[in-house]
């Protein structure tokens, strides 16, 4: 004999129907952390009349989950969309006999004993009006077979729904993020402040839970899905079903007034093809790449490698699979391009040089002698070239990446003026791009150090500051902004943008002002020397192998560890011979074409075996792809807007 879950007779539905109407009625809103998910806009047009009608016809109200807005790249390719999913669910109060329902379902789709017991436990623990998922993602054949049995499954809902899908998978995992079922913490947060002893507030609690726990409901959990959830989520409604005296659904009523309202779409500035190429070019290397249009500030690629498949999270990832991602030393879950921070190394030397020129502590043609080290107090600060570079001016110091030159400039400047220049170039700023995360990095000063470590700033720390080492850390995105501001060359503090068409985002702050054009010209000429003049540190980076275009840029190596005097004496161990976590990071910043810049790029290769020698080939190949694809051409959403404007004239 099958065990009855409840002795309540289906014919006594009037009170249940009235309570459901109260649950569905009114306007609810929900805040989950930084997410605002508009819940139920279900104001009844004539409540008394509607309740009477519901009693007569035994109308059941079931929350209807809206379709989320889609996310597109700049050319209309879908990055977040939907696929059809066939599902089975039920609320305990609608089920005359759970055991019988599971038995009939099990005739079509295998339900192990363990699965049945787990489902029974879920039904016992859940509130009676909250739907519980029985089966998800059925095959169409299974869905069709179960649909034939509808009349034998009173209280069970068998329907198709739209499940979130990410067709680009790994390419946009860190940016788009993913949705997931609301967890208990999110539900508890949503219910905070609602008093169960108050009838109206208890009904609101029930309404919130009925929606959040609905099997088809998903909330933004990470990335744009979370940050822009208000825009994407839409507004839940409800469906009205007519049941007979036995509780079986006879029909679904049309009710456009209370239908769910779909979410709104978002169009990004990113080029999906370039993003895919950037990740492919990285191969087995770990790191990040950012490509910006230097005229518009549009971000065309924001790639982190390795990555993961967000589709694995939509219906819940297994503990084993999540642990494998979390424990991977290459950190595939970490958005290195936006959240990662690194010492910029020699890519920072343009900032130091610019600060020196602006402050008047150097002139473009003044020379500094490099003998391979810089004596300061009782310490020696070494140049990467052990024999030294001899006498150099600013142009030659950038081209040859001479450490000693910039040690001297930094000493003359002091930390405050270096910090001010760094902020003017876009470092030390968290940029609002419409997704979770985002690092501001550290642009240190004396006051910062006193606040952080309760210690004064030491003069020796200024020396390292000049070559992008020490406390200074930046994100790959910030390096791309810095490169773009140098490339554009007109003093404009270009701001990055990734949402082309969608909600308005808070404006990021600008600090100070850029140097005048003559100083920027000096920096650009030095970066050209790096790739295109004899003695430059990256002669193979200049030719991007497309229509004769050349890239200007600057190499950088970010030290992960301090090299001791003893190591220098016996010969420093090469990077590739060190354990991975002790290897230096390789960096590159650049722009192309050198004489009329269109794109700026920043690349960081974590724990590289060859320092910047691994970064610039990646940057060169990504830049090649950007020009081949013409990634910065007018986006589809812009052209569609122009077409509408033309039609209205």
Q: How far apart are CA 306 and CA 53, in angstroms?
A: 58
Query: What is the DSSP track for 260-275?
Result: PBPPPPEEES--HHHH
- For the stretch 189-219, pLDDT in tens is 889 888 888 888 888 888 888 889 888 899 9
- For the stretch 537-571, pLDDT in tens is 999 999 999 999 999 999 999 877 665 555 545 56
Considering the domain boundaries, does residue 388 fall inside one?
Answer: yes
Confidence of residue 598 (pLDDT cuts 50, 70, 90): very high
- For the stretch 325-337, pLDDT in tens is 999 999 999 999 9
The last residue of one of the domains, among 244, 268, 292, is: 268
Q: How far apart are CA 610 and CA 608, in angstroms?
A: 5
Domain that holds residue 62: 14-268
Average pLDDT, stretch 243-261?
74
Q: Give, for 395, the enclosing helix (H) or strand (E).
A: helix 394-400
CB 104 within 8 A of CB 149: yes
Pairing between β-strand 219-222 and β-strand 178-180 as defined by DSSP bridges? antiparallel
Considering the domain boundaries, does residue 92 fall inside one?
Answer: yes
Is the pLDDT at 55 greater than 70, yes or no? no
Domains identified in the chain, total number: 2
- Identify the residue with better confidence: 635 or 238: 635
Phi, psi of 225 (to 5 degrees): -55, -35
Is the pLDDT at 48 greater than 70, yes or no? no
Considering the domain boundaries, does residue 94 fall inside one?
Answer: yes
Residues 20 and 123 in one domain: yes
Q: Give, for 79, the enclosing helix (H) or strand (E).
A: strand 78-91
Phi, psi of 542 (to 5 degrees): -70, -45
Residues 240 and 276 in one domain: no
Q: What is the rounded (10 degree) CA torsion for 170, 176, 177, 181?
A: -120
Phi, psi of 590 (to 5 degrees): -170, 180
The last residue of one of the domains, among 268, 300, 325, is: 268
pTM above 0.75, yes or no: yes
Residues 147 and 128 in one domain: yes
Residues 299 and 184 in one domain: no
Considering the domain boundaries, does residue 2 fall inside one?
Answer: no
Q: How far apart are CA 62 and CA 237, in angstroms?
A: 9
Reading the block at residue 28, the tokens are: 């609810």
Is the pLDDT at 28 greater than 70, yes or no? no
The candidate with the shortest Cα–Cα distance to 552, out of 610, 483, 621, 489, is 483
The last residue of one of the domains, among 237, 268, 299, is: 268
CATH number of the domain that 164 lies in?
3.90.1310.10
Is the pLDDT at 5 greater than 60, yes or no? no
CB 368 within 8 A of CB 501: no
Considering the domain boundaries, does residue 1 fall inside one?
Answer: no
Residues 255 and 355 in one domain: no
Residues 154 and 291 in one domain: no
CB 95 within 8 A of CB 244: no
Find all residues with CB under 8 Å of 46, minimum gap 6, and list them.
Answer: none
Residues 76 and 88 in one domain: yes
What integer pLDDT is reported at residue 579 of this predicted model? 67
What integer pLDDT is reported at residue 648 of this predicted model? 35
Residues 223 and 309 in one domain: no
What integer pLDDT is reported at residue 18 of this predicted model? 38
CATH number of the domain that 321 lies in?
3.40.710.10
What integer pLDDT is reported at residue 417 of this predicted model? 98
What integer pLDDT is reported at residue 26 of this predicted model? 35
Q: Give, for 142, the enclosing helix (H) or strand (E).
A: helix 140-148
Q: How far apart are CA 262 and CA 266, in angstroms?
A: 13
Q: How far apart are CA 571 and CA 594, in angstroms?
A: 38
Is the pLDDT at 166 greater than 50, yes or no? yes
Considering the domain boundaries, does residue 521 fall inside one?
Answer: yes
Considering the domain boundaries, does residue 602 fall inside one?
Answer: yes
Residues 492 and 604 in one domain: yes
Percent of the chain surpassing pLDDT 90: 66
Q: How far apart are CA 267 and CA 636, in angstroms?
A: 9
Residues 210 and 313 in one domain: no
Q: State CA 446 to chain mean position distance.
A: 33
Q: How far apart are CA 212 and CA 218, in angstroms?
A: 8
**Among the listed ranges 102-111, 269-278, 577-586, which one has the minimum average pLDDT value?**
577-586
Residue 127, CB-side half-sphere exposure with 13 Å CA sphere: 14
What integer pLDDT is reported at residue 459 of this predicted model? 95
What integer pLDDT is reported at residue 561 of this predicted model? 61
Q: How far apart are CA 134 and CA 146, in angstroms?
A: 12
Considering the domain boundaries, does residue 557 fall inside one?
Answer: yes
- For the stretch 408-433, pLDDT in tens is 999 999 999 999 999 999 999 999 99
Task: For the beta carbon of residue 319, count every other beta carbon within 10 angstroms.
Answer: 8
- Rg (C-alpha) for the chain, rounded Å, is 31
Is the pLDDT at 583 greater than 80, yes or no? no
Q: What is the rounded (10 degree) CA torsion for 7, 8, 11, 13?
A: -160
What does each C-alpha distance from 282 to 58, 199, 413, 435 come to in angstroms? 61, 58, 38, 23
What integer pLDDT is reported at residue 574 of this predicted model? 62
- Identify the residue with better confidence: 49 or 217: 217
Q: How far apart are CA 488 and CA 535, in angstroms?
A: 25
Q: How far apart are CA 98 and CA 93, in angstroms?
A: 10
What integer pLDDT is reported at residue 257 of this predicted model? 74
Residues 216 and 245 in one domain: yes
Reading the block at residue 298, the tokens are: 């549009």
Residues 204 and 307 in one domain: no
């Amino acid at each position: 004999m099958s065990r009855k879950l409840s002795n309540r007779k289906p014919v006594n539905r009037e009170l249940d129907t009235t309570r459901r109407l109260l649950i569905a009625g009114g306007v609810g809103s929900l805040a989950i952390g930084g997410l605002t998910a508009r819940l139920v806009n279900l104001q009844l047009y004539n409540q008394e009349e509607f309740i009477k009608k519901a009693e007569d016809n035994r109308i059941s109200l079931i929350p209807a989950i809206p379709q989320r807005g889609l996310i597109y790249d700049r050319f209309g390719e879908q990055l977040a969309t939907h696929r059809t999913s066939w599902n089975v669910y039920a609320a305990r109060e609608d089920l005359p006999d759970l055991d019988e329902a599971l038995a009939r379902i099990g005739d079509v789709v295998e339900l192990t004993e363990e699965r049945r017991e787990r489902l029974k436990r879920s039904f016992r623990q859940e509130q009676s009006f909250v739907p519980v998922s029985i089966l998800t993602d059925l095959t169409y054949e299974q869905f069709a077979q179960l649909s034939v049995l509808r009349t034998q499954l009173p209280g069970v809902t068998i329907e198709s729904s739209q499940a979130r899908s990410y067709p680009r998978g790994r390419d946009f995992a860190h940016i788009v993020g993913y949705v997931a079922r609301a967890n208990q913490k999110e539900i508890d947060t949503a219910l905070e402040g609602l008093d169960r002893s108050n009838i109206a507030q208890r009904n609101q609690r029930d309404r919130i839970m009925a929606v959040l726990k609905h099997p088809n409901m998903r909330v933004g959990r990470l990335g744009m899905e979370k940050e822009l959830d208000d825009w994407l989520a839409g507004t839940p409604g409800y469906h009205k079903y007519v049941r007979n005296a036995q509780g079986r659904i006879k029909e679904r009523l049309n009710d456009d007034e209370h239908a769910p309202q779909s979410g709104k779409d978002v169009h990004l500035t990113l080029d999906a093809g370039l993003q895919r190429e950037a990740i492919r070019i990285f191969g087995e290397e770990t790191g990040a790449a950012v490509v910006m249009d230097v005229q518009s500030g549009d971000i065309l690629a924001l790639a982190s490698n390795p990555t993961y498949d967000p589709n694995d999270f939509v219906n819940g990832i297994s503990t084993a699979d999540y642990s494998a991602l979390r424990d991977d030393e290459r950190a595939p879950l970490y958005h290195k391009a936006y959240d990662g921070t690194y010492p910029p190394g020699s890519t920072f030397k343009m900032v130091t040089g610019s600060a020196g020129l602006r402050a008047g502590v150097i002139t473009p043609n003044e020379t500094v002698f490099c003998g391979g080290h810089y004596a300061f107090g009782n310490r020696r600060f070494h140049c990467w070239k052990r024999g030294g570079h001899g006498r150099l001016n600013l142009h030659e110091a950038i081209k040859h990446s001479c450490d000693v030159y910039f040690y001297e400039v930094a000493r003359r400047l002091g930390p405050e003026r270096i910090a001010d220049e760094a902020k003017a170039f876009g470092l030390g700023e968290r940029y609002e791009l419409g997704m979770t995360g985002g690092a501001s990095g550290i642009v240190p000063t004396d006051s910062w150090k006193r606040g952080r470590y309760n210690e004064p700033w030491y003069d020796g720390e200024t020396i390292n500051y000049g070559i992008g080492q020490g406390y200074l850390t930046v994100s790959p995105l910030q390096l791309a902004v810095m490169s773009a501001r140098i490339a554009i060359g007109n003093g404009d503090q270009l701001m990055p943008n990734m949402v082309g068409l969608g909600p308005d985002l808070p404006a990021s702050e600008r600090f100070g002002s850029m140097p005048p054009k003559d100083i920027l010209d000096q920096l650009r000429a030095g970066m050209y020397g790096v790739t295109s003049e004899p003695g430059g540190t990256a002669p193979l980076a200049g030719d991007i192998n497309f229509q004769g275009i050349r890239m200007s840029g600057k190499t950088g190596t970010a030290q992960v560890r301090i090299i001791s005097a003893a190591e220098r004496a016996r010969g420093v161990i090469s990077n590739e011979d060190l354990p991975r976590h002790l290897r230096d990071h390789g960096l590159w910043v650049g722009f192309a074409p050198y004489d009329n810049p269109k794109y700026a790029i920043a690349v960081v290769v974590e724990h590289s075996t060859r320092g910047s020698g691994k970064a610039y080939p990646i940057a060169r190949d990504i830049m090649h792809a950007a020009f081949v694809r013409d990634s910065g051409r007018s986006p589809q959403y812009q052209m569609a807007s122009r077409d509408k404007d033309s039609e209205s004239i």
